[in-house]
Amino acid sequence: MAEKITLTVNQVPYTIEIEGWEHLIDVLRDEIGLTGTKRGCDDLSCGACTVLMNGEAVKSCQVLAKRASGADVVTIEALAQGTKLHPIQEALIESGAVQCGFCIPGIVMGLHGLFRKKLDATEAEIADTLENHLCRCTGYEAIFEGAKLAQKKLKAR
């Protein structure tokens, strides 16, 4: 029952044969080899798999691969430019938010989705976005501080 989809990932076009059960996360990790997108759960609750699809932060384990046909997808791998990190990455590192790091790519992408649309998001809105992400290491304090620092850095750009 293989079927073909075409999509753009990090500005590179791909045509990929998919199976009906496959989700966007499988395409990214297994077909394209972009393993920065993480899988932490079976029930859409951890947010480790978050990517941008057509500009929106989505949980890639939730998106059936065929729904991603024609989509423009951005993953964590596209954020840094060479050795120059994206301000969100810089900010999370500076605030001490990176412990085991398994939740971090998803959080970077979730915040990226938020700030692209609304750079002047309130603290409550930042917390709403971060509520989509589970982190077992940090207790969220450093992540929240990092998010606010990222906002500041992005505004100053």
Partner 1 sequence: MSLKYVGKNITRPDAVQKATGKARFLADIKLPGMLYAAILRPGHAHARIVSIDTSEAEKCEGVVKVITGKGCSQKYRYGDNIRDFVPMADEKVRYIGEPLAAVIAKNPHQAKEALKKITVQVHPLPVYTQATDALADGATLIHEASGDYWHLPGVGPKPGTNIATHYRLKKGDAAKGFAESDVVVEAEFKYPFGSCAAIEPHGSIVWFHEDGMIEIWSSSICPFIIREEVARVYDRPESDVRVHIPEVGGCFGYKSDITVEQTVAYIASFVPGHPVKWVATRKEDFTSTLLGHGMVIRMKIGAKKDGKLMALATTVYHSTGAYADTGLHVSIAAAHNSTGAYEYPNCDLETFLTYTNTPPIGAWRGYGHPEAQFAQERLIEILARKLGMDRFALREKNYLGPGKITSLGEHLWETNGSIQKCVDVVKRTVFDKPRPPEDPEYYYGRGFAAIMKSPKGAPFSSKGAYLKFNADGSVVINCGGAEVGQGLRNVVRLVAAETLKMPPERIHVYTEIDTQFSPWEWQTIGSMFTKQGGRAVWRACLKAIAQMKQTASQVLRCDVDLLDYDGEYVFLASDPSVKVEVTKLVRGYMYENGMVVGEVVQACADARLPRYSGFDPATGQGSMGVSYTFGAQAAEIRIEKKTGKIIVDHFASCFDVGRVIQPQQIRGQVTGGVVMTVGAALCEEVRFDQDGKCVNPLFRKYRFPTIKDAPKKQTVDFVETPGVIGPYGARGIGEHPVIGPPPAILNAIHDATGIDFFEIPVTPEKMKKALDEKGSGGEK
Which residues within the stretch 46-75 sit at the binding site for ligand FES (CB under 6 A)? Answer: 46-49, 59, 61
CB 10 within 8 A of CB 78: yes
Q: Which of left, alpha, beta for 2 (phi over 0: left; psi -120 to 50: alpha)?
A: beta
The entry of partner 1, ligand FES, none that residue 61 binds, CB within 5 to 8 Å by partner kind? ligand FES
- 102 touches ligand FES (CB under 6 A): yes
CB 24 within 8 A of CB 72: no
Q: Three-state SS for 149?
A: helix
Q: Which of left, alpha, beta for 65 (phi over 0: left; psi -120 to 50: alpha)?
A: alpha
Binding track, positions 10-29, relative to ligand FES; x by CB under 6 A: --------------------
Token representation of residue 119: 């750079």
Question: Locate tokens 């297994």: which residue?
Answer: 30
- 3 touches partner 1 (CB under 8 A): no
Is 100 or 127 the residue whose CB approaches ligand FES more closely?
Answer: 100
Stretch that binds partner 1, among 2-10, 64-72, 75-83, 110-118 (CB under 8 A): 75-83
Residues that bind partner 1 (CB under 8 A): 19, 21, 29, 33-46, 48, 75-77, 79-80, 85, 89, 92-94, 96-105, 108, 127, 130-131, 133-144
